[in-house]
Structure formats: structure tokens, C-alpha cells
Structure 1
Amino acid sequence: MPDDVGKLLEIAQQAAKKAGKVVWEVYDAEDYVAYAKDDDSPVTTADYLANEIITSYLQEHAPDIPIMSEEQDNPDLTIRAHWPRYWLIDPIDGTQEFVARSGDFAVNIALIEDNQPKIGVIYWPAGDSLYYAVRGQGAFKSSPQESGPIHVRSFDNPKEDVVVIAISRRQSRDKVMSRMSEQRIYQTLPLGSCSLKACFIAEGKADFFMRIGQTGEWDTGAAQCIVTEVGGDILSVDFERLSYNQRNILTNPNFLVMGDQNVNWQEVVNYYEED
């Protein structure tokens, strides 16, 4: 691993853990105020605090790398299109879960290089778990219970094995299941943030996640790096690559997180757009 990449990975890890631990203290003490954004999605003073901690740390230790974040005003594409690399952060992925007190929220930090994730770091405060990856170097998990490389679950029979679907706690189960092939058997695992579901797929605790609804590039950047390094993938529901820093808008299409690539996921997913 080049020294520059190794150093940047360590910086991202430290920033995520630093913000995550402070956010957990705020969460534990219920010492925050919640607001509604213009799109009615929630944001809290903890989101802004985490954003400040992360951006300050990144600017101190990697001052030449620009930052994009969910919780700040980001430059127009005419400016950021010239960035060879930049940090992409979601200070609290799963703010709804933070407010609902499920514990299923995480801190996301990605380094995007040449419009694709190069480094992905996700810290889950409730489990004191750090998931991380560098493109081409594999992915790992570090927690009090276990540390080491992770990998998606390998299917014994890719055509018939039960598929474990990670489903958002606040999303209708029927909304997802109606878009899945009736030729398979499924189990569901309720979870919170997008990135946490992706991490559970990356470590083999689930196999699939379908996100229907608005997300931003910061919701998938770190997760995509981790999932693709362990034998999985993240694609739009049309099975197209997600883009980073190539459009004026920073929203994602509806997308899929898939584990074992020996499974023909295009046969498993029966996606359709609602009228």
C-alpha cells in the first residue's frame, strides 16, 4: 500500500472514530436538537457537530484535499469537476435511527479519486466497529469482539440458497419484497442506515439490500469501496454504475447492494418503478 494512501486511510479512520465517539456521547445523553430539512428529512445538532469534527480533522491533516459533505454547502460542478480527489463524508448516516434511538447509525468517510471510491471508512458507534477498505487491498473490520479481513457470504447453491435481505426499519417490507423474484426464498434482517446494511453484507451477515428513496453520493461512497473489495457490488436498480462528482446534483438513483456475485442478481431482482 503506497505510503500516501496508508496515511490517508489512517487519517480517515481517526476522523471517523473521533466524531463517532463524540456523537455517541451526545446520543447517550440525549443532548441534541432535531430539525427538518427542506425535503423533510431530519438533521440534528449532532450531525453538525460530527461534521465540524470530521472536517476540522481532515483539513488539519490533509489540507490539500477538498471536502464534500451532506451537512454543508458544496461547490458547483464547474469547480469540483477539476478535483482529482476529494473527501466525501456523511457525518451521521441514519439520522432517523439516531432520533429514533435504535443505535443503527454510522459515520461515513470516503476518499474519491478519479470519480471512484479509493478509500472507504465506516464507523458504527453502537458496536464500536470500524469497517474500512482501500481499493485493491481488501476490506477489514476492527471491533472489540473481532478484527481482521471480511468477505461476503459465499452461497453453496447460488441458484437456490436462501437470500438474507437487509431491510430498513422504517421501510415497508412489502415495498421491497414485491420487487423480488418469487422463485427464491428470503429471510429479512431489519437494520438502520444504508451504510450499516452494506457493512453487514460485506461481512456476510446479510446478502442483499434494495434502497428505494432519496440518498446522496455520501451515502454510498465509503460503502461501495468496502463492498466491492469483499466480492460484492453496489449498482443502480438498472444495474448501472453509480457516479461520483459527475453531475450538478449529488443524489443517487435507487440502488442495490449485493453480496456473492456468483448469484445472478438480475434474476433475483424484479424491480419496477411505481406509477
Structure 2
Amino acid sequence: MELAKKLNAIAWAAGAITLEYFQVDTAVESKADDSPVTQADRAVEEFILAELEKACPGIPVVAEEAVSAGSVPASADRFFLVDPLDGTKEFIAGRSDYTVNIALIEKNQPVCGVVHAPARGTSYAGGRECGAYLCRGEEFGDSASRIAVRHADPAGIVAVASRSHNSPETDAFLAKFEIAERVSVGSSLKFCLLAAGEADLYPRFGRTMEWDTAAGHAVLLAAGGGVMTDAGVPLAYDKRDQTSDSDFANPHFIAFADPEIGSKVEKMLKSTDIAKVG
């Protein structure tokens, strides 16, 4: 619980920095992979790195903008993953879906994390030892309420999709379920909707990086859900020297709330080529 509290407080303070740049004429640059970056991304990451060193000295940090600049710590059993501003496209467009993400990874799995949505005034924080919480302030206290995944109605599954990265593969995958509603939201908030019992399934058949998913994954695990790759195995972290992609790149994955849905998805993935799901 203490670590979740510390990460939540850091994320809220970082979020306050993003609000100084939000819905103003902020300069936008393109990185080598053509993804956008703003002054807010860099200022927030610098702040988070300094605060993590104060709170948890000596633990390595893999952070999006630092990695983009070529600063990558050596592989470790225990390290932080940081996305200072997830959903930069949402941020640039003046939408409230963007988030600040911080997660602790131990032995390739996210064990604690926080997803803070500054423009919404909320955060989702949790870990394997304390469960998951919805917070409306940087202090847990009375502003935090326990959250957990819900038992899905097979005839009324709510699916979450990316606002900016939908794909034919996503549509084909969801066609295998009785989808009652489809919700579009940006950034790592998709994981949080599952964790809070507001949705059931989030397939992602598009490219993501570990810092995009780690914090939301940690919260979802703490709430009782899970994330598996399109090969039907748990999504892991600290992926380096990959033959098919760059360091820290994720494969396609499916996040689920109810473990029963997870079992169904696992059987589906292991019994058929994902390319033939549709």
C-alpha cells in the first residue's frame, strides 16, 4: 500500500505540470517513430525521474522519452516503467483522456502502478498486495474507493476500443463475442474501465510499448483481471533483443476483466491462428 500511495502522489504532482500545458498552443514535434512529443512530455518525465529517485533510490527507470533519447538502463529484475504523458494525441487535441503512468515491474510482471488522468481529476492505483483503488486526490484517505472487476454477462459484454488505433483485426476478434456496447477511450484508461467494473474486454491488435501498458496492467491485475498476448500467454515486460520488433515493444494483446472471459480468450487463441479469428 505504501508504494501505491507514493506513486499516486508523484503522479498527481506530475499531472499538475501537464495542466500547465493543456489546451494551450503547445509546440508539437515528431520523434523518430513519427509519434508526437511535446514540451509537457519532457517536463513531466524529468519531474517523475527525480521524484522516483527520492522515493525509491537505486531502482532503475525505463522512461519513454529517455529511451527515445538513447538512455536505457541495463536489464533488472526490478525497475520502474514510466510514460509521462500517455495519449499525447488526446492531449494535443485538448481531450481529457490522456494519463500519467508509473509502474513497478518485478520479474517481468507489473506489481504496482498508477494511472492518473489530470484533466479528469482522478487516478487508478493499486498493486498485488493492496488491491486496486479509484482516487480523487493525491492522498488515498477518504478520496479513495476500492474497485474490482465484475462478472461479465456473456450476452452483454462491454468492449473497450482505442479511439485512435482501431483495426479490422479488432472488429474480427470482437465478432466472436456478444457485444452489447463498445466504448472508445484514449490512453491507458481502457485498462482502468475494466478494473473499475465498467467494461469487460479490451483487445489491442496494434503496436504498443511497455510504458503504454504497464501501469494500467498493474491496476487491472490488482482488481482481479489480466492481460495475455495473442499467443495466449501473460503479457511480460523487459522485452529486449526482439527479432521482430524493437526493445520494449509489445505483441498484440487482450485485456480482460472476468477471469472466465480470460479462460475463453485463452482457449480461443491457442486453438486458432489469430489471423483467422475473424
Task: Tell me how far apart the structure 1 counterparts of residues 177 and 267 of structure 2 sit (CA, whole Å).
Answer: 9
Aligned-pair distance for 1:273?
A: 7.3
Aligned-pair distance for 1:143?
A: 1.7
CA contact (8 A) 2:18 2:40 kept: yes
Match of 2:74 among 74, 80, 83: 80
**1:60-209 correspondence to structure 2 within 5 Å:** 60-73=54-67, 80-81=74-75, 83-143=76-136, 147-155=144-152, 157=153, 160-172=154-166, 174-182=168-176, 184-193=178-187, 195-209=188-202
Percent identity at matched positions?
Answer: 33
**1:16 aligned onto 2:8:** no
Task: Tell me how far apart the structure 1 counterparts of residues 112 and 266 of structure 2 sit (CA, whole Å).
Answer: 28
1:272 corresponding residue in structure 2? 275
Task: Tell me how far apart the structure 2 counterparts of residues 120 and 260 of structure 1 sit (CA, whole Å).
Answer: 20
**Aligned Cα RMSD in Å?**
2.4
SS in 2 for 1:204: coil
Q: Which amino acid aligns with 1:123?
A: H
Task: Tell me how far apart the structure 2 counterparts of residues 115 and 52 of structure 1 sit (CA, whole Å).
Answer: 24
Relative to structure 1, the CA distance from residue 11 to residue 175 in structure 2 (aligned partners, 3 Å threshold; closer, same or farther) is: same
Q: Which amino acid aligns with 1:190?
A: S
Aligned-pair distance for 1:59?
A: 1.6
CA contact (8 A) 1:22 1:50 kept: yes
Moved more, 211-220 or 136-145: 136-145
2:210 corresponding residue in structure 1? 217
Task: Tell me how far apart the structure 2 counterparts of residues 188 and 268 of structure 1 sit (CA, whole Å).
Answer: 21
Task: Tell me how far apart the structure 1 counterparts of residues 177 and 4 of structure 2 sit (CA, whole Å).
Answer: 42
Relative to structure 1, the CA distance from residue 205 to residue 268 in structure 2 (aligned partners, 3 Å threshold; closer, same or farther) is: farther
Relative to structure 1, the CA distance from residue 273 to residue 44 in structure 2 (aligned partners, 3 Å threshold; closer, same or farther) is: farther
Task: Tell me how far apart the structure 1 counterparts of residues 268 and 157 of structure 2 sit (CA, whole Å).
Answer: 9
Q: Which amino acid aligns with 1:11?
A: K
Match of 1:251 among 245, 249, 252: 249
Q: Give per-residue Cα distances to partners, 1:184-228, cap 9 Å, x unaligned.
A: 2331111011x1100011101111111122211111211121111
Q: Which amino acid aligns with 1:121?
A: V
Task: Tell me how far apart the structure 1 counterparts of residues 197 and 14 of structure 2 sit (CA, whole Å).
Answer: 26
Q: Which amino acid aligns with 1:119?
A: C
Structure 2: runs of 5+ lacking an equivalent: 242-246
CA contact (8 A) 2:83 2:211 kept: yes
SS in 1 for 2:62: strand
Relative to structure 1, the CA distance from residue 183 to residue 189 in structure 2 (aligned partners, 3 Å threshold; closer, same or farther) is: closer
2:258 corresponding residue in structure 1? 260
Aligned-pair distance for 1:96?
A: 1.1
The size of the alignment, in residue pairs, is 261
CA contact (8 A) 1:179 1:272 kept: no
Aligned-pair distance for 1:153?
A: 2.0
Structure 1: runs of 5+ lacking an equivalent: none
TM-score by length of 1: 0.86
Aligned-pair distance for 1:167?
A: 1.4
Q: Which amino acid aligns with 1:147?
A: A
Q: Which amino acid aligns with 1:141?
A: L
Relative to structure 1, the CA distance from residue 173 to residue 186 in structure 2 (aligned partners, 3 Å threshold; closer, same or farther) is: farther
